[in-house]
């Protein structure tokens, strides 16, 4: 296809375009070369947890196809590749013995990025906790935070000279809340008190790891990637407005206040504070580390209502039904790009923040190849509209330095398995053939225009 007639933008000259993936979603090779199970191996093998019983056993077989996958990324003219490391490939039990073959894999991958002039943006934790650590209590235990700092030290000592940016966590909300409160992600717990301990220890792990990374390699940019919600009341009324405030406190500020201001939101403390570990107060100083950037993963707005059920847990909100005229993706997520600008503005008003990257943005559309072509025009519209919002945010002086499309290719979409496709590249899981979708060609042309 030809270049978009009206390209989104403008963007600053050094604005970075990239694509993103995560280890468990693409690598496969789960029991090869010394890797041991993570909580997602365990969880996905439990009956009924993942749609169709899908697992990450093979995924996109990226562990073996990494070289041609990097060529594919290069062919898209992007400047950066954001990926995560599998902790259980590097330190199979989470602590102790280091797996040389795991180091070798990421050595090859990082060198492969550099050979192709792709900046490696590395994430330490994209939800795949080594199962041995979970067997010892997982994120509910302080020792897991300490183990994470040791893992960060290994990564920075090995790869720190060759990577551009390192993020401690990807979407800590998901691993704590979806995984330990809602029970729809690994490890599948539904326990509010436990979930709050996990939130705190993930924060602590971030703080300890950031300090460790900076002590080893002060010049390496360190940040954290958050999936914050842009929250709106679905109906007018004071009770719904108050519900929005509570929802933001629980789902956003429970994460951002400690990380960026070294405190917990008062409304959460009033109701749930007793569930935090006893050490919470003295840990806050460690948690609030100066960061070089932060990442926002953004997909859709959240519309809520006050929950009239007085026995409902804090924040006592419920999701509103989708408006009849809302545009939805194939996963039923609302398409509303301007809400991303609202959220960015809100964040920069509330906190004194470093620059940010949109570290993920994209949409699930399940178009398949017809005569060898995947005509996913809806994905192009989605990406185009969100890139226009990024440009608008920049025009409002919000320092967005880059944008990573989620995802390079279709992959294991967690509890939704392989049916939900977010890729710019179509993956035929039977043959492992990759077909660049129309959106992939579009994104490549866009990146090329801004590159030149």
Cβ closest to ligand IFM, residue 305 vs residue 427: 427
- Binding flag, residue 54, ligand IFM (CB under 6 A): no
Q: Which of 238, 360, 373, 416 is catalytic?
A: 360
85 in Cβ contact with 148 (< 8 Å): no
Element at 360 (helix H, strand E): strand 356-361
Let me know: does 221 contact 166? Beta carbons within 8 Å: yes
Q: Which is nearer to ligand IFM, 25 or 256 (CB)?
A: 25
Task: Give the Cα-Cα-Cα angle 256, 81, 91 (nearest 5 degrees).
Answer: 75
- Could you say which DSSP state residue 322 is in? P
3-state class of 45 per DSSP?
coil
| CA pair distance 297, 225, nearest whole angstrom | 7
CA separation for the pair 228, 213 (Å, rounded): 25
Please, what is the minimum distance in Å from the beta carbon of residue 143 to ligand IFM? 26
Please count the residues of this chain forming the interface with ligand IFM, following the rule CB under 6 A. Answer: 8
The interface with ligand IFM within residues 231-250 (CB under 6 A) comprises: none
Between 360 and 376, CB nearer to ligand IFM: 360
CB-CB contact of 229 with 251 (8 Å): yes
**268/248 Cα distance (integer angstroms):** 10
Q: Quote the least distance from Cβ 436 to ligand IFM, whole Å.
A: 19
Tokens of 216: 């080893």
Q: Does the annotation mark 171 as catalytic?
A: yes
22 binds ligand IFM (CB under 6 A): yes
Q: Are 1 and 443 in contact (CB under 8 A)?
A: no
Supply the minimum distance, in Å, between the C-beta of residue 318 and ligand IFM: 21
Q: What binding mask, one character per residue, do residues 410-429 give for ligand IFM by CB under 6 A, x or -?
A: ---x--------x-------
| Residue with the two structure tokens 């890797």 | 35
Does 406 contact ligand IFM by CB under 6 A?
A: yes
Of 171, 219, 235, 381, catalytic: 171
Is residue 360 annotated as part of the catalytic site, yes or no? yes
Sketch the per residue contact string, 357 through 386, with ligand IFM: x for CB under 6 A, - otherwise: ---x--------------------------
Q: Give the pair of three-digit tokens for residue 183.
A: 């029970």
Indicate which single residue of 297, 317, 389, 439 sits in contact with ligand IFM (rule: CB under 6 A). Answer: 297
35 dihedral zone (left: phi>0; alpha: psi -120 to 50; beta): beta
Residues 145 and 101: their CA atoms lie apart, in Å, by: 24
The residues pairing with 357 across neighbouring beta strands, listed in sequence order, are 295
Please identify, using beta-carbon distances, which residue of 171 and 283 lies nearer to ligand IFM.
171
Minimum CB separation of residue 406 from ligand IFM in Å reads: 5
Of 136-195, binders to ligand IFM (CB under 6 A) are: 171
Q: Pick from 431, 425, 428: which is nearest to 406 by CA?
A: 425
DSSP reduced 3-state for 242: helix
Instruction: Based on the shown chain and the rule CB under 6 A, indicate whether residue 83 belongs to the binding site for ligand IFM.
Output: no
Minimum CB distance to ligand IFM, residue 203 (Å): 19
Nearer to ligand IFM, 248 or 421 (CB): 421
Pick 85 or 149: Cβ nearer ligand IFM: 85
Could you give the residue numbers annotated as active site?
171, 360
Q: What is the contact surface with ligand IFM in residues (CB under 6 A)?
A: 22, 25, 171, 297, 360, 406, 413, 422
């Amino acid at each position: 296809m030809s270049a978009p007639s009206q390209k989104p933008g403008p963007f600053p000259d050094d604005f970075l375009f990239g694509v993103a993936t995560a280890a468990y979603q693409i690598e496969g090779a789960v029991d090869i070369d010394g890797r041991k199970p993570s909580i997602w191996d365990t969880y996905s093998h439990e009956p009924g947890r993942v749609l169709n019983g899908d697992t990450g056993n093979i995924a996109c077989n990226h562990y073996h196809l990494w070289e041609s996958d990097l060529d594919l990324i290069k062919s898209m003219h992007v400047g950066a590749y954001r990926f995560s490391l599998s902790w259980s490939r590097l330190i199979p039990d989470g602590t102790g013995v280091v797996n040389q073959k795991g180091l070798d894999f990421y050595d090859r991958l990082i060198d492969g990025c550099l050979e192709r002039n792709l900046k490696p943006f590395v994430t330490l934790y994209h939800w795949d906790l080594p199962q041995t650590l979970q067997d010892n209590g997982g994120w509910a235990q302080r020792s897991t935070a300490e183990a994470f700092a040791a893992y960060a030290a290994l990564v920075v000592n090995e790869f720190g000279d060759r990577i551009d940016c390192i993020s401690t966590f990807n979407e800590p909300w998901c691993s704590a809340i979806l995984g330990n409160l809602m029970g729809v992600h690994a490890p599948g717990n539904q326990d509010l008190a436990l979930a709050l301990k996990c939130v705190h220890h993930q924060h602590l792990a971030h703080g300890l790891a950031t300090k460790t990374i900076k002590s080893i390699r002060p010049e390496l940019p360190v940040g954290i990637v958050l999936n914050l919600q842009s929250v709106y009341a679905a109906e007018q009324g004071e009770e719904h407005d108050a519900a929005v405030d509570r929802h933001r406190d629980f789902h956003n500020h429970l994460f951002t206040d400690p990380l960026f201001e070294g405190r917990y939101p008062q409304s959460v403390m009033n109701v749930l504070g007793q569930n935090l570990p006893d050490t919470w107060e003295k840990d806050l100083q460690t948690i609030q580390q100066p960061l070089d950037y932060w990442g926002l993963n953004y997909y859709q707005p959240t519309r809520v209502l006050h929950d009239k059920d007085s026995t409902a847990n804090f924040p006592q909100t419920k999701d509103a039904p989708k408006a009849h005229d809302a545009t939805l993706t194939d996963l039923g997520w609302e398409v509303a790009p301007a809400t991303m600008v609202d959220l960015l503005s809100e964040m920069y008003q509330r906190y004194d923040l470093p620059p940010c990257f949109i570290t993920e943005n994209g949409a699930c559309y399940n178009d398949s190849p017809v005569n060898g072509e995947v005509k996913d025009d809806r994905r192009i519209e989605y990406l185009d509209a969100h890139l226009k919002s990024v440009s608008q945010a920049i025009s409002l002086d919000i320092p967005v330095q880059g944008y990573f499309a989620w995802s390079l290719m279709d992959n294991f979409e967690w509890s939704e398995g392989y049916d939900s496709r977010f890729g710019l590249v179509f993956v035929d899981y039977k043959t492992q053939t990759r077909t660049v979708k129309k959106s992939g060609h579009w994104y490549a042309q866009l990146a090329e225009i801004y590159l030149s």
